[in-house]
Structure 1
Amino acid sequence: MDGKKLLSFFQTCLHSFMKVWQNAFLCLFFSCLSLSYAQEIGPVWYFGNNAGLDFNSGVPVVLTNGALVSDEGCATLTDANGQIMFYTNGNTVWNKDHVVMDNGTGLFGNVSSAQGVVIVQRPGSNTIFYVFTVDTQPVDAGYKGLRYSEVDMTLDSGLGAVTSNKNIFIATAIGEMLTIVRHSNGTDRWVAAVGYPDNKIYATLITAAGVNTTPVVSDGGPALSNYGWMGAMKVSPDGTKLAHSHLFSGVQLSDFDPATGLADNYITLTTDSMYGVEFSPSGKLLYTSSYTSSTINQYNLEAADIAASAINISPGNQIHDGGGLQLATDGKIYFCRYNLLDALDVINSPDVLGITCNYQINALYLGGKTINSGLPAATQVQKMTAVIMADKFCLSDATEFSLSSVVDANSVTWNFGDGNFSNEVNPTHVYASIGTYTVSASFTIGGVPQTLFKTIEILEMPTATQPPDMTACGDENGQAVFDLSTQRTTILGPLQLVDFSVGFYTSLEDAKAGVNFITEQYTNTSNPQTIYARVSPDAGICHAITSFILNVVRKPVLIMPDAFAFCQNSSVTITAPAGFSAYVWSTGATSQSIVVSKAGSYTITVYQVSGGITCEAVKTITVTEAAKPEITYIEINDWTDNKNSIVVTVSGSGNYEYSINGINYQTSPVFNGLLPGKYTVYVNDINNCGTDKQEVVVLMYPRFFTPNGDGKNEVWTIKAAFFEPNMKIHIFDRYGKLIYSFNGSEPGWNGEYNGHRLPSTDYWFLVERSDGREHKGHFSMIR
C-alpha cells in the first residue's frame, strides 16, 4: 500500500473512532526484523551512515537528513500519517527533529548488533513505547544482554523522552536478532530473541500491564557455533513461522504459536554461513543471504522438502559479502551488500518462484550515503490491516488476487480496473490486453468500510515455437552430444534474439522456475529424453515454454585389430567385420577387405543406417613391414651365483619376441636372474617373418675349494668354463707369483705347485676369454 492510500485508510479509521488522538494507530518500524499476524511495512527508513528512505509516495525517495549512524541495528517509529516520531540505533534515541531525545543516550544496545533494537507500543497506551535492545558478542566480558527502556511521548512538549525505566534486564546470553510477533489475541505482543549458544527461542510478552521480564523459552534448533550470535530473525506474515539465520550455523525454520510464545518443529534449511533472512509478502517463499558472498537463495515453503527447494536467484561475480534483507512497502525486498556501499539491490517480485523474481543489482542509489550490513525492517500496525496480493502478470495467464492478512472479509468487492468485477474472496482474472491497471478491493473491518488499491502491469506473453526432435549418433550407452543452440532460431520464430533469450532445461518444473538450466552442448542422460525450452524477454518476467525430444541411435561398433604386419616381399589382407551397410577405405576401396603391400596408416569407415539416420565408425590401422631379426650384440652381466643377466640387441623393423630356451618367449630383450651356464638366445618375428639365434655362456667361480682328499671340492675351476675350451685361467699367490695355468677344457687346479701341496690361504685368478674379455678375482683354499 502506498503512503497516500495508507493515510486514507487511517483517516477513515480515525473518523469512525470519533477523531481519537492522532497517534492512536501507529506504524512501528523495526531494525532488521519482520513482523507477524497482519504485516504492514514501515514507510520511513533511517539506517547505515545517515542514509534514509521514504516510501510514503509508493516509491522510495532518498532521505539525507537523518542523524543515525549504525553498522547494523536501527529502528524508526512513525505515526499514522507516516511521519517520524523517533528513531534509534540501540545506543541513542533521536526525536522527530533529529535531535537526541532527553535521557536518550546510554542505552545498552550496540550499533554492531545485527538486529539489535526494536520498538513496541504498550497495548492500550498511545504514549508509552518500549525500546528493546540486545548487545553484541555474548561471549565478551561486560556483555549487557537483552534489555528494554521506556519512552514517554507526553514528555518534552510531545517530542518524547526516555524515562527512568531504562535498560531493564530481561535475559543474558542472547544473540543479535530480535523480532516482534503479534499475540493471537490481536492486542499483546511478543518480542522474540535467540539464545547463544543454545539456540533457544526467548519470547518476552508485552501487555497493557507492561513487559513480563520472564521470557517463554523453547527449542529453536541445534547449538550454535562460534559467531553464531550474528544473523537475523523474521516471522512469517501469518505469525506461525520463525526463520533465523546465523554465521557458520546455517538457517533454522520453526513453527511458532502466537498464543503461547512457544516455538517447535524446527528444521535446518542449510548449514552454510548466513546473515539475512526475509519472507515474501505472501509468506510462501523465504529468502536468505550468505555472509561470505552475495549469494541469495530462495526457498519454497510449500515444497515437500523445503531445504532441497533452494534456488540461487542472485547473479554471480559479486565481490562483496552479503548483508541484510528487508521487505518494503512497495512489496519489494531490498538487500545490502557489505561494506559501505552507496546503493541497495532489490528483488522486484519476491512472490514469484525462481529467477523470474527479478533480482536487480544496485537498483536504488542512496544519494551519496552508505550502508554496512544492516537494513531497517518491517513495521507493525496496531490495527490489523490488509494489502492486496497479486500473482501472475502475463497476458493470457489468470492473475490471482487475495488479501494478505487475517481480515475477516467474507464479502469483498474487487474492481480489476478493466471494467470487470468479482465478489469472490480470492478471485482470478484474465486480462484481455497488456497495460497498467489499478485494482481495488473493498471490504469492511470492524464496521468501517475499507478500500485498498494496487497497481499492476499485464505484460505481453512471448511465444515459443516447437522445434523438430533431434536425432544423433551415440555411444554404446545411448549417449550423444547435442548442440541445442541449433534449435534456437526455430523456437524464437518471429521473435528477435536481441530482445529474447532461450534457456534449456531437463524438467518442466525447472523451466517454469528458470533454474538449473543446461549448457547448449548437452549430453543426454536418458534415451529418449525430453528437453524443455524457455523463451524469456531480456526485460520482464513473462515466458513461454515448449519442448522437443532427443533421440540417440547407437553408432556402429568397429572391433578389429589396431595393427597388421607383412613380411618383406609379401602382403597382408585386412578384413573389416561383416554386417555394416557400407565400407570406405582410405585407399578408395569400398570392399570389406583390402590387400596391403606397403607400410603406413590406413583408415576404414563403416556406415550403418538405422532409424532414418546414418551413423558411422572410423578406425585407423597401422601396417608395418616386418624384417627377419638379426642378433647384433648380446650384453652379458655374469660372475654372480644367480643374479646374472643378458640383454639382446637386434636389428630389423619387425615386432620381435625373445627366448633363452626356444619354448618360452617374452617381448622384453632382457633376461634376469640367470644361473651360470650355457644359453641359446632366440629372437623370433611375431609375424613369422624369421628367427635368429646365438649361444652365450654365463660364468661364475667358486669362492673356495677344499683339496683334502675327501673327494669333494678337490679342484678349483670356473663354472661353465668347459663351454669355452679356449678360455685361459691363471692362478697366483698373494705376491703375484704364477702358480698354475689351465684352459676351459681342463679339470682345474688341485692346490699343488710342482707336486707340493700349498697352504690354506687366499689365491688370485685371471680369466682370459676367447673374445678378449678378462676377469680377475680371488678365492680361498681350505684344507
Structure 2
Amino acid sequence: MLNRLYILMVILVCITTNAQDCPNPVYPANDATNIPLDSTIDWETVDGVPSYNITLGTTPGGNDILTSQFASGSSYTPPLGLPANTTIYVTITLFFFNQPNVTCPSYSFTTEPLTSIPNCTQITNPPDMATDVNPNTNISWNYIYGAEGYRLSLGTTPGGTELLNDYDTGNVLTYNPPFDLPAETTVYATIVPYNLIGSAVGCTYQQFDTKAPSQIPDCTTILYPQNGETNVPLSPLLEWYAVPDATGYIVTIGTTPSGTDILDESIFYTNSTPVVNFEPNKTFFITIIPFNDAGQAEGCIQTSFTTILGCGPYLDFDTGEYVIINPEIDFQSSFSSCQNEGPLVINSTDIAEGFRWYQIDQFDDETLISSTNEVTITENGRYRYEAYNTINQNGNTIECPSSQIFEVVSSEVATIDNIIAQPTVSSLQLTVVASGIGNYEYAIDNIDGPYSDSTIFNNVEPGTHTIYVRDKNGCGIAQKVFTQDLTVEGFPKFFTPNGDTVNDYWQFIQPLESEEVIFKSIRIFDRYGKFLKEISQYSQGWDGNIAGRRLPSGDYWFQAIDDSNRQIKGHFTLKR
C-alpha cells in the first residue's frame, strides 16, 4: 500500500498543469492601506480550482507571518489577526488533485497602525468555574484586537503566580504548561494581552478545579476505508481502531484536505459510523481525533479514499491518468434573437455522444425540445443545453452529462434619434440619443471602435463625424453623420435652428491648439448690413430669432472685436 501511495504521489507531481487564471483580490484590494487588524482576506473564486492555500509575509512570496494554510472557500481569517502598520504580501496557491499546484503572484496591502493598548481577553479552556479539569490541560484564550502577545499567570490563590509568573507566551492563543497542574486543586489563571504601546489594564482571573491526573489518548488508525483505497461504496461503514481511555472520537470529512463539507468535527462515542450517499468518483479526506477528559489526541494524520468509479474524475492507477467521462462543453450563457430575422437556430460544436435541449418555464419545469446537436428557438426565455457521453460499468450503462443553462433575449439594431452638440471652450461635446430594445455601445469615426457604453463624446473637433451605435448582441450597427464646420477663427459656417438640438445655436467655438481668444463683442448683421443682434462669447449663442420672430434662411454677417481691438468679419448661413 505504501509503495502504491508513493507511486501515486509521484504521478500527481509529474502531471502537467494547464494554464490557470489566478484570482483577483476582493478584500483588501491590492495596495490598500489602513486595513483593520482582524480583517478576513477574500479573493475571487476560479472555475475548476478545488481548493486554495494562502501564505502571508513581509516580502513577496514570504511566509514569515503565516505559513501555508488551506483556506475554507475563497477567504481566510488569520486566527492571530494581522501585525499592525505592516505591508503584508498575500500569496495564493491553487490546489489541485490531478495536476501540480499553481502559485500566483503576490499582492500586498498595509495594515493600520496601533493607537491604543489592547483590551482584556477571555480564557476559553478551561472555562471559568469549570470542574474536573485534567491537570495536564492546555490553557487557551480568545484573540483580542491589537494584541501582539499575551502574558499568563497561574496560581493557587486568586490572582496568584505561584505556578507561573507573568509568562510571556508570545503571539499564540494556547499554552501547554511544561508541568502538570496540581491535582484536585482550584487553579487561578490570568491572561494579559500586550502590544508595543502597553499592556491591557484590569484583567481579572478565571478559576477552575482540577481532578485526579489522567493522560490524553493516542491517535487511532482507520480500518476501512484504508488510506488511498479506491472503489469505496457510496454508503460505507467507516471503522477505526478503538483507543483505550478514549471517551469519544471527533470525525471530520471533506472533499478537500481542509474541507468540512461532509462532517464538521462530529463527535462519535463508538469506533465506527455509517455514512449514507457519498458522491461517486470523488476523493474524501478524513481525520479522526480521539479525546477524553484530559484533552484531544495530538498529531493525528489525515487519510483519504475515493468512491466507486462513474463519470469521473477518478484516478486510473494503471495509467496514472485522471479519467473524466463527461464531455467538455464550451457554451455561452446568453443568446440574442434579432428582430425580423426569423427563429434563432443554435448549433453545438461540442464533441459528445448525445445532446438534449430543454425549455424551462416559470416554475423551473423542463420540456424537451430537441435531441440533436441543433435547436430552433422561437421565443425568449430560459433554456438548458445538455451534452452527454455514456459508459458501461458492472453491466449498467451510465450517462455522464454536462449542461449549461442559457437565456434567449430579443434585440435589434439601434435607431439614432439625435446627436446633441454642446460647444465647450475649444471643442464640442456630442451626446448620442438612440432607441431600440437592444443593449448598445457607441463609437465615433471608426466602425471597428473602440466602443464604449457611454453615449457622450468629449473634446470632439468641429467638422464632420460619423457616430456608430452597435448592438452588443450582434444584431447590427447603426450610423449617422454629424457636421459642424468652423471658419479659421472659430465661428460656425452654418447653423440649423430647427429645434432638433443639433446646431441649433450659432456661437464662437475656440479652435483646438490655438491661443485663447476673448471677444468684447460679437455682432450679427443681415446681408444688407442691418444690425440684428449682439451676443456674449459665453452665452448659448444666437437662435436665429429677433424679438421672437424667426428670421428666414440665408446668409448673415458677423463682426467680432477681441480684447486687443482686433476685428474679425465674416459670414455664415442660417438653414431651416
TM-score (structure 1 length as normaliser) = 0.31
The structure whose Rg is larger is 1
TM-score (structure 2 length as normaliser) = 0.40
